[in-house]
C-alpha cells in the first residue's frame, strides 16, 4: 500500500498493490473517492510536484496519473451523500485551502453570523472565503451600518478589522484604506506602523495619499513599497530629503521630469 498527502487540497491518497485507489479528507479521514484504477499490480508511486497529484507505475509498465480537479472538488464533496456532514467538510476544505465551489455556503454562514450578532464569526468566515467573495466594499459597508453588539466594547467595523488582523491576515487594498482612515483620525499612527512592519496592510498609492495628510514620512515608506516613482520623489521633496532624489532615480533607472521636481522644491 502506498500513501501520499496532497497538501494543496487537504487530501490523502492511498493506492493498494492490487490497484485500488482511495482518497480521504485529511482532518476527518472521510472517504471522498475510491476506484480500481488498474488490473495489474502497482509497483511504485511518486508525488507529482506540479499538480500535487500522484504518478504510479503498474507491473505492465503503464504510467497512471492521478490528479484532483480543483474546480470541482468542493462541489463534489458537497453533494457526496456517502460523506458524513459533507457540506461542513466541503466548507472546511474551501476555507482552509482557498478552493472554489462553496460560495453559497460561505454567504450563508456569513449572513447567519451577522443575523445572530456574532460579528467576530462573520469576520472569520469572510477571512476564509476565497478571493474577494466577502472581503470587499459591500461587506465593509454592512459592518459600518451594523449596531454594536450588546456589551461590545468595539464598533462592528473595528471588530471586523481586528479579527482579520488577529488571524495574521493581510488586509487587501480596500480594507487597508478603510482601516487607516479612522485610526489616523484618532491620532494612532503608531498602529499603522506596527501593521506595516508585520506586512498586514496592502501598500498602495491611495493608502499613501491618506497617510500623507498625517505623516509624510510614513507615507513615503508606503509609496516606496507600492513602487510609484513619482509619489516617492514627491515624498522625498515634502520631507526635505533632496539629496536622496538623484540616487533613487539612478537606482530605479527612472527618468523624472526634473523641471517639475525643481518647481516642487523651490517653495
**In-domain check, residue 95:** no
> How many domains would you assign to the chain?
2
Range of the domain at 10: 2-68
Quick check: 125 and 109 in contact, CB under 8 A?
Answer: yes
Cα distances (angstroms) measured from residue 178 to each of 1, 89, 157, 202: 53, 33, 9, 12
- 235 and 155, same structural domain? yes
Question: Which domain-ending residue is among 49, 68, 87?
Answer: 68
The rounded distance, in Å, linking the Cα atoms of 141 and 104 is 20
**In-domain check, residue 43:** yes
The rounded distance, in Å, linking the Cα atoms of 179 and 156 is 12
- Residues of the chain with pLDDT below 70 are 152
The pLDDT of residue 137: 96
The rounded distance, in Å, linking the Cα atoms of 16 and 146 is 55
- 122 and 59, same structural domain? no
Other C-beta atoms closer than 10 Å to the C-beta of 39 total 11
**In-domain check, residue 107:** no
**In-domain check, residue 112:** no
- 152 and 49, same structural domain? no
Q: Which residues pair with 34 in a beta bridge?
A: 22
The rounded distance, in Å, linking the Cα atoms of 171 and 249 is 30
The pLDDT of residue 12: 94
Check which CATH number belongs to the domain holding 182 and give it.
1.25.40.30
Cα distances (angstroms) measured from residue 210 to each of 94, 195, 215, 251: 35, 15, 9, 27
Report helix, strand or coil for 67. Answer: coil
**In-domain check, residue 239:** yes
Check which CATH number belongs to the domain holding 46 and give it.
2.40.10.480
Report helix, strand or coil for 130. Answer: coil
**In-domain check, residue 90:** no
Amino acid at each position: 500500500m502506498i500513501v501520499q498527502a496532497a497538501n494543496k487540497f487537504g487530501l490523502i491518497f492511498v493506492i493498494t498493490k492490487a490497484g485500488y485507489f482511495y482518497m480521504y479528507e485529511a482532518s476527518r479521514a472521510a472517504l471522498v473517492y475510491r476506484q480500481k484504477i488498474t488490473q495489474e499490480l502497482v509497483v511504485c508511486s511518486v508525488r507529482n510536484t506540479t499538480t500535487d497529484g500522484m504518478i504510479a507505475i503498474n507491473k505492465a509498465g503503464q504510467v497512471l496519473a492521478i490528479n484532483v480537479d480543483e474546480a470541482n472538488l468542493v462541489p463534489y464533496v458537497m453533494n457526496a451523500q456517502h460523506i458524513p456532514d459533507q457540506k461542513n467538510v466541503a466548507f472546511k476544505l474551501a476555507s482552509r485551502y482557498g478552493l472554489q465551489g462553496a460560495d453559497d455556503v460561505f454567504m450563508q454562514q456569513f449572513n447567519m453570523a451577522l443575523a445572530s450578532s456574532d460579528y467576530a464569526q462573520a469576520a472569520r468566515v469572510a477571512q476564509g472565503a476565497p478571493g474577494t467573495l466577502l472581503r470587499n466594499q459591500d461587506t465593509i459597508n454592512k459592518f459600518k451600518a451594523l449596531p454594536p453588539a450588546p456589551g461590545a466594547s468595539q464598533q462592528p467595523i473595528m471588530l471586523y478589522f481586528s479579527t482579520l488582523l488577529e488571524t495574521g491576515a493581510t488586509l487587501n487594498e480596500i480594507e487597508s484604506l478603510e482601516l487607516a482612515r479612522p485610526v489616523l483620525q484618532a491620532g494612532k499612527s503608531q498602529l499603522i506602523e506596527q501593521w506595516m512592519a508585520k506586512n498586514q496592510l496592502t501598500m498602495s498609492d491611495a493608502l499613501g495619499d491618506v497617510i500623507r495628510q498625517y505623516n509624510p514620512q510614513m507615507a513615503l515608506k508606503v509609496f516606496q513599497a507600492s513602487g510609484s516613482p513619482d509619489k516617492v520623489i514627491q515624498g522625498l521633496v515634502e520631507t526635505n530629503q533632496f539629496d536622496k532624489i538623484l540616487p533613487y532615480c539612478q537606482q530605479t533607472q527612472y527618468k523624472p521630469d526634473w523641471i517639475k521636481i525643481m518647481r516642487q522644491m523651490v517653495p
